[in-house]
A = this chain, B = another copy of it.
Amino acid sequence: MPPAPRPPDAARRSERARTAVLEAALALTAERPYPQVTVEAVAARAGVSKATIYRWWPSRGAVVVDALAHRARTGGDHALPDTGELEADLALVLRAIVDELADETWSSLLRALTVETLLDEGLRGQVLETIFAPQLEAFGARFAAARAVGQVGEGVGDLEALELVVAPVFHRWQQGSGPLTHSYADGVAARACRALAPA
């Protein structure tokens, strides 16, 4: 006989505990060096047992990826601005990214996410699907609009175009090789648009 469905208040308690775990993971990743963000520490902060965490997630990395996806879902709309001027719109997006990276909380989370995806191919696939794919779709819609008005050539795919826009910024952030300023963001947008313009 299958188990009886759980009563609604148990489901609500369970959802509250899941959210508490995700928020504890976000908070701790922002507060301490990542090696100290253990499953024990997350459980203690969330007020649940380690067993509860392992019932829902196979590893610390899986919790972090889910926490970031949770933050992305609650962070609202992904659509890019569309003023009709691709370069100005991309500069705006890149300035916002640069501002986010200057926030040590966000930067720590992104470092943790990057570490986990480098160590675990399964998580990398999950990040691609839950975090990267929606971003690519949003950029793709903006590039399509730009193609329609002749600001982007036909030969370049959305993924290649996205890389031109965001890869330099994340490369610089990860290497610590140079300043991440608004004027740098503007330069990246300008160079991307030159590369993307129809021949």
Residues of A with Cβ closer than 8 Å to B? 33-35, 111, 114-115, 117-119, 121, 124-125, 127-128, 132, 136, 156, 159-160, 163-164, 166-168, 170-172, 174-178, 187-188, 191-192, 194-197
Contact = CB atoms under 8 A, between A and B. Distances in A.
Contact of A191 (B35, B156, B174): B156
Contacts of A136: 177
14 contacts: A111-B118, A111-B119, A115-B115, A121-B176, A124-B175, A125-B176, A127-B175, A132-B175, A156-B191, A160-B188, A164-B168, A191-B195, A191-B196, A194-B194
A177 B160 contact: no
Q: Which 4 A-B pairs have the closest CB atoms?
A: A167-B171, A163-B168, A167-B167, A195-B195
Chain A interface helix/strand/loop/mixed: helix
Contact of A174 (B34, B114, B125, B175): B114
Q: How many copies does the complex hold?
A: 2
Contacts of A34: 119
Given A118-B111, A118-B114, A191 B164 contact: yes
Contacts of A125: 176
Nearest to A171: B167
Most buried by B among A33, A114, A167, A178: A167
A148 to B, nearest CB: 20
A29 B140 CA distance: 37
A128 B163 CA distance: 22
Contacts of A160: 168, 187-188, 191
Contacts of A196: 191
A159 B177 contact: yes
